[in-house]
């Protein structure tokens, strides 16, 4: 079939939407990419080959799924919108290595589903154009799951990508930066202009590449407490670490003494702001707080 047109071209996208009478749902953050070269660049960035299994979230009408299917061993795509299931059955019928799962990925048993769908034990990568409104929960769902994801190459709002890949001491640096960088190394691969989407979003997007670390970036006594501390430290960006910590942990004399002693053990000035602390400093403080309880 030499006359086959890729799903992602603007004319083919419009044709598919018209055929199926599809209307965009703002609540699902649906923006479909209509530039095949960008999709190919995403697949290239993720270094997908026949020895790679891929999970995609929110395949839409299958534009990225198609490019993944051409290069990967198998593709597992989670789609929450029931109106898109028949569309995907139509657009992806020529790709037997794709399985579309009609489910909310946040409720999915990732281990079970991947074992059923990926019999070959190749590395698992997550490649997706994530819906803006739910980018962080989806990413954290994968990071906190027991699933061994070697890499994530995901499209998101540029501002969110800036926050995740930020360095200490910058405006973008915050608890989200730490939550992701604790597990993965993060870098922005390239920017995607808003003009290549239907409908056009208000902001540009970025492709964020996340590579799993062999072990977490820092050693902490209690992961849950470490993340509680980092969240607390950024509660009010203008406030000092001391004020923010009291806001979360309490202001009794006992708590103040515990916090002061922990900061002293970790060698951290309580007058600093959360955004100036590195991951190592947060780990040192968290461990001191646990040790000193």
Is residue 3 a part of any domain in this protein? no
- Indicate if 98 and 240 belong to the same structural domain: no
CATH number at residue 267: 1.10.8.100
Q: Is 162 marked as binding a ligand?
A: no
Q: Are residues 137 and 83 in the same domain?
A: yes
Q: How many CB atoms lie within 10 A of CB 62?
A: 29
Asked if pLDDT for residue 65 goes beyond 90, the answer is yes
> Which of 115, 118, 158, 136 minimizes the C-alpha distance to 57?
136
| Both tokens assigned to 96 | 């037997």
Same-domain pairing of 276 and 137:
no
In this structure, the answer to whether residues 15 and 124 fall within a common structural domain is yes
Strand partners, 198: 32
Query: Is 210 annotated as contributing to ligand binding?
Result: no
Q: What CATH number should be reported for the domain holding residue 83?
A: 3.40.50.150
108 and 252 housed in the same domain: no
Give the pLDDT score at 120.
82
Q: Which domain holds residue 63?
A: 10-212
Does a structural domain hold residue 2? no
Residue 97 is labelled as binding a ligand: no
In this prediction, residue 211 carries a pLDDT of 96
pTM, two decimal places: 0.91
Task: Please check whether residue 20 lies inside any domain of the structure.
Answer: yes
Collapsing DSSP states into helix, strand and coil, what is residue 21?
A: coil
Residue 74 backbone dihedrals phi, psi, to 5 degrees: -140, 150
Residue 77 has what pLDDT? 98
pLDDT: which is higher, 56 or 133? 56
- What is the C-alpha separation between 162 and 25, in angstroms, rounded? 27
Which residues, 6+ apart, have CB-to-CB distance to 147 below 8 Å? 110, 111, 114, 124
- Domain shared by 59 and 164, yes or no: yes
Q: What is the pLDDT of residue 237?
A: 86
Domain membership of residue 5 (yes or no) is no
Is the same domain home to 65 and 36? yes
Distances (CA, A) of 236 to 175, 216, 239, 240, 242: 12, 26, 6, 8, 11
Helix (H) or strand (E) holding 197: strand 197-198
Domain boundary among 178, 212, 246: 212
189 and 151 in a common domain: yes
Helix axes 63-71, 36-45, angle to 10 degrees: 50
291 annotated as belonging to a binding site for a ligand: no
Percent with pLDDT over 70 in the chain: 99
Tokens of 204: 């540009």
pLDDT in tens, 250-289: 999 999 999 999 999 999 999 999 999 999 999 999 999 9
Percent of the chain with pLDDT over 90: 89
Nearest to 133 by CA among 33, 58, 187, 195: 58
For residue range 104-133, what is the model confidence (pLDDT) as tens digits?
999 999 999 999 999 888 999 999 999 888
Same domain as 278, residue 245: yes
Residue 72 lies in a domain: yes
Examine the pLDDT at 187 and tell me if it is beyond 90. Answer: yes
> Mean per-residue pLDDT for 163-167?
96
Closest listed residue to residue 190, CA positions, set 72, 43, 28: 43
Say yes or no: 257 and 124 in one domain.
no
* Residue ending a domain, choose from 192, 212, 232: 212
- Number of folded domains that form the chain: 2
Q: Give me the pLDDT at residue 3, please.
A: 62
**CB-neighbour burial class of residue 146 (10 A; exposed 0-12, middle 13-18, buried 19+):** exposed
The C-alpha atoms of residue 278 and residue 187 are separated, in whole angstroms, by: 17
Residue 238 lies in a domain: yes
234, 245 in Cβ contact below 8 A? Answer: no
Say yes or no: 71 and 190 in one domain.
yes
Alpha-carbon span 163 to 167, nearest angstrom: 9
Assess if residue 4 is contained within a domain: no
202 is in an annotated binding site: no
Structure confidence by residue, pLDDT tens digits, 198-256: 989 999 999 999 999 999 999 999 999 999 999 999 999 899 999 999 999 999 999 99
Q: Which of 151, 181, 212 is the last residue of a domain?
A: 212
Asked whether residue 230 falls in the same domain as residue 256, the answer is yes
Report whether 148 belongs to an annotated binding site: no
Within a domain: 218: no
């Amino acid at each position: 079939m030499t006359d086959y047109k890729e799903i992602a071209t603007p004319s083919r996208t419009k044709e598919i939407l018209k055929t199926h009478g599809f209307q965009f749902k703002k609540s699902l953050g649906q923006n479909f990419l209509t530039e095949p070269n960008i999709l190919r660049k995403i697949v290239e960035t993720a270094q997908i080959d026949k020895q790679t299994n891929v999970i995609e979230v929110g395949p839409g009408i299958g534009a990225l799924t198609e490019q993944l299917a051409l290069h990967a061993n198998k593709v597992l795509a989670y789609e929450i919108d029931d109106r898109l299931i028949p569309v995907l059955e139509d657009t992806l019928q020529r790709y037997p290595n794709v399985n579309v799962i009609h489910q909310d990925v946040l409720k999915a048993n990732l281990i079970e589903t991947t074992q059923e769908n990926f019999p070959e034990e190749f590395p698992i990568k997550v490649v997706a154009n994530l819906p803006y409104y739910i980018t962080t929960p989806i990413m954290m769902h994968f990071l906190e799951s027991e699933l061994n994801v070697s890499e994530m190459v995901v499209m998101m709002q540029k501002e969110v990508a800036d926050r995740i890949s930020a360095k200490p001491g910058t405006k973008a640096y915050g608890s989200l930066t730490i939550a992701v960088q604790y597990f993965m190394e993060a870098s922005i691969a390239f920017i995607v202009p808003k003009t290549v989407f239907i409908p056009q979003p208000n902001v540009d997007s970025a492709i964020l590449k996340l590579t799993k670390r062999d072990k977490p970036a820092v050693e902490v006594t209690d992961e849950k407490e470490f993340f509680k501390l980092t969240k607390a430290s950024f509660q009010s960006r203008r406030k000092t670490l001391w004020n923010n910590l009291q806001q979360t942990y309490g202001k009794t004399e006992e708590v103040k003494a515990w916090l002061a002693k922990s900061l002293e053990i970790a060698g951290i000035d309580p007058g600093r702001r959360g955004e100036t602390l590195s991951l190592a400093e947060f780990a040192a403080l968290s461990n001191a707080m646990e040790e000193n309880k």
